[in-house]
Structure formats: C-alpha cells, structure tokens
Amino acid sequence: MRHLFGLCIVIFLGIIMFCESAKSNVEINEPVMAYKMGVHSAVTPVPVADEWWKSRHQKIVEQTGKRAVDLIFVGDSITQCWEEVGKEVWQKYYVKRNSLNLGFSGDRTQHVLWRLEHGEISNISPKLAVVLIGTNNSNKNDYTPKQISDGIVAICKKLREDLLGTKILLISILPRGEKPSLQREKNIEASRLASVIADNKWIYYLDCGENFWLVMV
C-alpha cells in the first residue's frame, strides 16, 4: 500500500521537477504572499522540548551544505516514517533524487516553522519541497480549520522566501481515522483553505482526499 502511494507521489514529483525554473524573487501579488493570515500559536515558531527532537534537528542542520539536496520532504510522523516502515520505498525512489527527510513525529505547523528558521534549509537549493503537515494541529479543539491553514501557508511562505529557486508541492492533509468524523472534516476544510496559494508555477497542490483510499485498498 505504501509502495503504491509512494509511486503515485514520485510520478507527480517527476513532472514538476522536470520543468525547472530559474530563481525568482517573491512577488507581492503571488497567492502565497496575498493570503490573509491571522496571529495565533499555529504560526508562531516554537521548538519541542524532547531530547530526541533536538538531536534529530541538530543532525539535519549539520548535514545541510555537506551534500547535494534536490528534494526535501517537510512534515510530521507521516514523513519521518519514510525512514522506517517506508524505508524500501524511500531507498527505491528518493535516495537517487538526493532527498532530505525533514519529517518529525508529532510536529505541528509551529514546530516546523521553528526548524525552518533554525538552519534546516540553510545552505541548500533543492529543486522541490514536498509539504505534508497539519494533522497534529487538528487534534481536539486546539485549532480551527482557518488557523491550521494559516500554519500550512506560513510554512510554504517561508520556503518560498528562503528558497527562491525551489518549487513547492503542497499535499492535502491525509484522512484521519477509518470513518468520517469531525476531525476529518476539519482537515478537509483546512486543506481547501490552504490550497488557494497554489499558482501552478511555484506552488502546486495535490489533493489526495478520496484518491488516498483508492490507492490504499
């Protein structure tokens, strides 16, 4: 199942990465810049106190600039697990693409923002950044769909500003749970709100949604 999902993603990546673009300064009229963002904790960078988290972050920072990086994956445990249960897929499709895994289990948007601001994308110039984040912000009643969307967009904005030659593939939050729920609906709405920043030039949006279940069966 993970193999098929990985194959679907890599085909999409190949299409985007094939169409390379020169570096471009961020234009104020780009959708990601025009997006109206609120002020709240989902967009306020903050680290996680756990030692494993600090150690993983430091190791990644130490890697940047020491090898070629053409593709980065930004996210939470779903992304980090490509190193574990998805290792076979990662080795087959992504190692040869000079990929860097920036997934941290349990991360919310604010944690990703902190990592990006503290060295994880310094000294690299990837062709593409894949962003899949937000599901942990949807736990309980901590955030509204708009606030989750704000956090997702803040990450894409940071990537766009700091990595001027990098395209971004924003993936919708994957379905939560085996059955429809309020949390799943919250994630669907958050993804929909964030999708408006896609301009199909620098930022692309891939809505897995129902297609995710078609791949997983």
Whole-number Å distance between alpha carbons of 133 and 191 = 10
In the structure encoding, which two tokens stand for residue 166, read together? Answer: 């990098």
CATH code of 39-206, in short, is 3.40.50.1110
Whole-number Å distance between alpha carbons of 113 and 110 = 5
pLDDT digit string, tens, across residues 49-92: 999 999 999 999 998 989 999 999 999 999 999 999 989 989 99
pLDDT digit string, tens, across residues 147-159: 999 999 999 999 9
Ordered by start, the domain boundaries in the chain are 39-206
Q: How confident is the model at residue 111 (pLDDT cuts 50, 70, 90)?
A: very high
pLDDT digit string, tens, across residues 82-109: 999 989 989 998 999 999 999 999 999 9
Q: Is 2 within 8 Å of 89 (Cβ atoms)? A: yes
**Number of neighbouring beta carbons within 10 Å of residue 102:** 23
